[in-house]
Chains A and B, each alone.
Chain A
Amino acid sequence: QSALTQPRSMSGSPGQSVTISCTGTSSDIGSYKYVSWHQQHPGKAPKLIIYDVSKRPSGVPDRFSGSKSGNTASLTISGLQAEDEADYYCCSYAGRYTAVFGGGTKLTVL
């Protein structure tokens, strides 16, 4: 049950694009389509923004997109906005009825 690996911090200017990586193993990300991304603002609960690798829940802007290649999933935020400044966590089904999260990426909008 080792955590997925994410960069601890990233930054970008308004209007730019950023891509956050999430690296796992062949036992989690590499084996399943159940990769999700959650956004968390300070003091708030996490919010689902991407599920099943690349699907967006209703109400999530299409600036947010997800993808996967091998054991690595990625979240891309296009056209960065000030309100995108938050912590982002990836999550994957890890088999044997367990889940594993990434350590989180703090995104700063400059």
Chain B
Amino acid sequence: EVQMVESGGGLVKPGGSLRLSCATSGFSFSSYSMSWVRQDPEKGLEWVSSISSSDSYIYYRDSVKGRFTISRDNAKNSLYLQMDSLRAEDTAVYYCARDFRNGYYVFDYWGQGTLVTVSS
């Protein structure tokens, strides 16, 4: 059974940092591209960042470039998102998602999400 569990969310002040983790099991993690997708009540779902199976290719949405860093550890079957210089508009539930089309963003499994709140 595919399982993906996010952690690391919480309350942080503007300008602060958080590191999200996504622990996976039940599939060959090193064979899939992975993404972070966030959701807030106002803007719905929003793709944030993706990383290829061997971390050769990394992409970000414009609004997080230079502030967020995606990474993965295939030995630990885990995905990460380092978020720096956080802004109020980054407040959302963050999901890790498996891209079974490896680069074409077809997300077949999602974690349960972790809430990030950026507020003073």
**Which one of A38, A97, A98 lies within 8 Å of B107 (CB-CB)?**
A38
Whether A46 contacts B110 by the Cβ 8 Å rule is: yes
Q: What residue in chain A is nearest B111 (Cβ atoms)?
A: A45
Distance A40 CA – B112 CA, assembled complex (angstroms): 11
Interface contact B95-A101, CB-CB below 8 Å: no
| Total chain A interface residues with beta-carbon distance under 8 A | 26
B107 near A104 with CB under 8 A, answer no
Smallest Cβ-Cβ distance to B50: which chain A residue: A97
Q: Which positions 39-56 of chain A face chain B at CB distance < 8 Å?
A: 44-48, 51-52
Interface string of B95-115 (1 = CB under 8 A from A): 100000101111111111100
State the CA gap A52–B104 with chains docked (Å): 10
**B30-71: contact bitstring with A at CB < 8 Å (1 yes, 0 no)?**
000001010000011111001000000101011000000000
Report whether A97 and B103 are in contact in the complex, using a CB–CB cutoff of 8 Å: yes
User: Which residue from A45, A92, A100, A101 sits with its C-beta under 8 Å from B110?
Assistant: A45
Least CB distance from B58 to A in Å reads 9
Tell whether, in the assembled complex, residue B44 and residue A104 are in contact, meaning their CB atoms are under 8 Å apart.
yes
Check if B43 sits within 8 Å of A3, measured CB to CB. yes
* Given A57-B108, A97-B103, 17 further pairs, Cβ under 8 A: A1-B61, A3-B43, A34-B105, A44-B112, A45-B95, A45-B110, A46-B45, A48-B106, A51-B101, A97-B50, A98-B59, A98-B61, A99-B35, A99-B105, A100-B47, A101-B37, A104-B45
